[in-house]
Structure 1
């Protein structure tokens, strides 16, 4: 089993957990320590794992030694009204080569997916998303990936994989299991026009920072359709992390916590990762990452069990004629969330081989009523016809 490669949480961090008040997370969570060994995972819903690999980060000069600053801040928080069993499994240390680390991370993720346990990863460079994605190969066909990042990270697929090029490898490498890639929070001046045009040609989704500033609710349907969610901490503006290499513009601390909650509340999300944690992470930044984990768990606690969607019970159906199409929307009586149907197309090689329900917003329904076809529906259909 690959869990044997997990190194225990340090004695100093364990002592910090024990010093917390009785009801703080540090005294509630089970911790992998050298003394107690790996906790049993029976009945566990979520695990926390550090991955200390950053050799493929083009800007990293030193190895990431630990994510203990985040752990300490997380242990100091108080849980919400949760009925969640969570374990801190410790850290994956860098292997002799980066490929060794990738192999271990892929195996660990695959085992957790089989056990239906959600891993929350604290990294390291964001190219770690690639082996996590590959863990789905033998478990689930066609997955959706969401990257919360100021950059697309498509990169040059001919070059070696790096923290700026792993998405391109997801697209190009066999087996082809990437159905949709969505970016949340990109800033145009960090992305080449070639990448922007390539994203459009592949009918992938990208939501600019300014759009999220206007209405964060636009991100909820994107997260609702995600199997794997990764966050690059460079997407958060410098003023809210105090990281030395952060960007002047970006998401606020409040916004990134909202996105973390959306990821947690998504019935589909199976893996959540927070990457590009700097080796000299500030107390402010560590506190924010701890709060992101807290909000992800909070969202998970309020999952509604609406994936896969059963439209035969508890849904209102709306049919909207547009030109030669009739768009069918569904609204959940339970949560008020909306979906739009992407119908089976019999004369093409339909990738999903079924009627597909695409998460959307009430605004998409209102646009359809005004005779405007929602953009995400158009992209999903075109991609499905390729």
Structure 2
């Protein structure tokens, strides 16, 4: 557990707050890293909270500090669902001497936790912290899928140093090249240049507009089912749902939608890290903290309801459907257990393709219906094109 030594304990004031809570609340059931008792035993723990008090690479940074005490208080006083999932709060990673020091601490901590099959829920801080979360997977899996819930693509100027609006550019450009797919959920066109929108298309990345997501929240499910890392920018939430300093745009996801999105992330069997970023406390702070605590609650609810349904070696647990679209044979698989759908991506044997572990792509029933009507599913097309690159 040496790599967890970067962690500072949960503040005494927050620990003291748990003393007055009802015995049935999360605060009474969660294992807490305290000054008195140190890091708790993580045996059997499946999800941990991890604060990162770093915001120096925020493009609007003016030297302000923040803490996560109110978020913890709001989360601790919630009542758990009918969960078997064990939780722990590992405390905070403080700002390092440099931002790179903080990145290193976060990368090593997340890497250690993922190796232990523990899901860290990272609370921050500026969203560039997604970059060290991504780098934590360098020696764990060969290719990484990243989902960003955001109004922006965060591609930024690829030639400039990393900031919270350009961290994806660094992920794309820097070796080792481990990024397979990047998807943005809830983007708003007027916050993104046409050049960036075109670049997303050129790279065959996925982008779902706010209107699409609001009209049909189930679009999010197959995207999350294929994600390893999910990063949420609180700026994607509409101004009426959050506190004064948190207000970014009158348009955005509402509270119900963002909680549904984190629940989909939890249900995904592949999501092994969730980050919630761009928290900016203010005097009327309570509503944002309550919303974040509910987002975490729904993520845990999702994890607790995970069902393994990808054993496609057993013909008794799935149905296979074959369609023909423009002379291209498409193979669909439907889990009998959950009703979830996948589409097969064929190998291109003549090239050194990246898809050795991505032969089945999560999709929706609608994709199958579209294929029956001679329409190629967009997710399949983009994954296929990436395989050809």
TM range (shorter): over 0.9
**Aligned position for 1:232:** 233
The answer to whether structure 1 residue 5 and structure 2 residue 3 are counterparts is no
Tell me which residue corresponds to 2:122.
Answer: 121
- Which residues of 2 match residues 299-378 of structure 1 at below 5 A? 299-307=302-310, 310=313, 312-353=315-356, 356-378=359-381
Q: Map Cα deviations across residues 44-72 of structure 1 (whole Å, 9 max, x no partner).
A: 11110110000000123243321111100
Whole-Å Cα distance in 1 between the matches of residues 205 and 215 of structure 2? 21
SS in structure 2 opposite 1:174? coil
SS at match of 2:121: strand
Kindly report structure 1 stretches of 4+ aligned residues shifted beyond 4 Å: 307-311
The aligned residue for residue 30 of structure 2 is: 29
1:264–1:298 CA contact under 8 A, matched in 2: yes
Shift of 1:308: 6.6
- Deviation, structure 1 residue 132: 0.7
Deviations 1:162-213 (Å, cap 9, x if unpaired)?
A: 0001001111000000000000000000011111111100000000000011
- Quote the Cα distance in structure 1 between the aligned partners of 2:384 and 2:74: 44
Matched, 1:241 2:246: no
1:382 to 2:385 alignment: yes
Q: Distance in 2 between matches of 1:344 and 1:4?
A: 44
Cα deviation, residue 243, structure 1: 3.5
Greater displacement, 253-262 / 191-200: 191-200
- Mark the CA change 1:172 to 1:340 in structure 2 (over 3 Å): closer, same or farther: same
Aligned-CA RMSD value: 1.2
Structure 2 equivalent of residue 58 of structure 1: 59
What aligned pairs does 1:103-142 form with structure 2 within 5 A after superposition?
A: 103-142=104-143
Residue range with higher mean Cα deviation, 123-132 or 64-73: 64-73
Change over 3 Å in CA distance of 1:203–1:285 after alignment to 2: same
Q: List per-residue Cα deviations over 1:230-286 (Å, max 9, x = no partner).
A: 000000001011343321100000000000000000000000010000032710110
| 1:3 to partner: Cα distance | 1.3
Partner of 1:210: 211
Q: Secondary structure at the match of 1:74?
A: helix
Corresponding position of 2:98: 97
Cα distance in 2, alignment partners of residues 222 and 310 from structure 1: 23
TM-score by length of 1: 0.98
**2:101 aligns to what SS in structure 1?**
helix
Unaligned 5+ runs, structure 2: none
Separation (CA, whole Å) in 2 of partners of 1:57 and 1:135? 21
CA distance in 1, matches of 2:135, 2:224: 20
| Residue equivalent to 1:257 | 259
Does the 8 A contact of 1:243 with 1:285 survive in 2? no
User: Normalized against structure 2, the TM-score is what?
Assistant: 0.97
C-alpha deviation, 1:5, in angstroms? 1.6
Say which SS state the counterpart of residue 5 (structure 2) adopts. Answer: helix
- Out of 268-277 and 319-328, give the one that drifted further: 319-328
Contact 1:49 1:92 in 2 (8 A): yes
Moved more, 285-294 or 41-50: 41-50
CA distance in 2, matches of 1:330, 1:196: 32
* Alpha-carbon separation, structure 2, partners of 1:324 and 1:240: 48
Shift of 1:310: 4.7
Report the Cα distance in structure 2 between the residues aligned to 1:122 and 1:236, rounded to whole angstroms.
16
Count, aligned residues: 386
Q: Is the contact made by 1:320 and 1:369 (CA closer than 8 Å) also made in structure 2?
A: yes
Q: Please list, as runs of the form range in 1=range in 2, the aligned pairs for 1:40-189 lying within 5 A after superposition.
A: 40-189=41-190
2:314 and 2:40 map into 1 onto residues whose CA distance is 40
Residue 224 of structure 1 and its aligned partner are, at CA, apart by 0.5
Distance 1:17 1:75 in 2: 7
Query: What's the CA shift for 1:313?
Result: 3.7
- Using the alignment, how far apart are the partners of 1:122 and 1:309 within structure 2? 36
For structure 1, which runs of at least 5 residues remain unmatched after alignment?
Answer: none
